[in-house]
Amino acid sequence: MLIKIYPENPNAKAIEQVVQVLRRGGVIIYPTDTVYGLGCDIKNQKAIETIARIRQIKPDKANFSFVCHDLSNLSEYTKPMDNATYRVLKKALPGPFTFILNASGSVPKLLSSNKKTVGIRVPDNNIAREIVRELGNPILSASLKDDDDIMEYSTDPELIHEKYENLVDLVIDGGYGGNIASTVVDVTSGEFEVIREGKGDLEMYL
């Protein structure tokens, strides 16, 4: 199923439809402020396994991130961070960053069998954030990689739908996606270490 949602003003009925799919354990493809992503409810183990299968990786080896509506539910999934770190995150988010933080005991067991960290995203995209707000907890996310040698990420929602309609439950057309992924920043040591350069420039917030 392909549904059109406008990022400037996401339609509440359409968002509710997406959330119902997630609550039933479905997998969606949705827009972010960087590339299109695969998403599911972090509380649904079967859906997490489906995403791992689509991406052809083992769930406990995967670098999935949690997409949150804002920083308010961070403390549930991460260990306490110092004020300086929190201030940087507050300035940089919502934005095109994935922050790797020390995970708390609430991270789903399937993901944390040997993981002590969790990647956190608060995308600057109203569709993604409204879905999470309506769902009431973060969604698990993995960027949608393309098999194409030239284009690393798929950007056209209609082509994405053609390719994935039999693998996922719903594709959101939120307009053309970007093809530069988020900047990944490891904060687990208390320092800010950029481990993948992407769309975001961290220097602006330090």
Q: Above pLDDT 70, what percent of the chain?
A: 93
* Residue, of 122 and 57, whose pLDDT is higher: 122
Residues 6+ apart with CB under 8 A from 188: 100, 101, 102, 116, 117
pLDDT of the residue at 29: 97
Do residues 80 and 89 lie in contact, with contact meaning Cβ atoms separated by under 8 Å? no
Write the DSSP symbol of residue 55.
Answer: T
CATH code of the region 2-205? 3.90.870.10
Specify the pLDDT at position 84.
92
Task: State the pTM of this model.
Answer: 0.92
Q: Which 3-state string (H, E, C) describes 124-149? A: CCHHHHHHHHHHCCCEEEEECECCCC
Rounded average pLDDT over 27-56? 94
- The answer to whether the peptide bond before residue 94 is cis (omega within 30 degrees of 0) is yes
Domain ranges, ordered by start, for the chain: 2-205
Question: Which letter does DSSP use for residue 172 in this model?
Answer: E
Q: What phi and psi, each to the nearest 5 degrees, are found at residue 46?
A: -60, -40
Q: What is the CA radius of gyration of the chain?
A: 16
- Reduce the DSSP state of residue 18 to 3 states and report it: helix
CA distance 170 to 52: 17
Q: How confident is the model at residue 75 (pLDDT cuts 50, 70, 90)?
A: confident
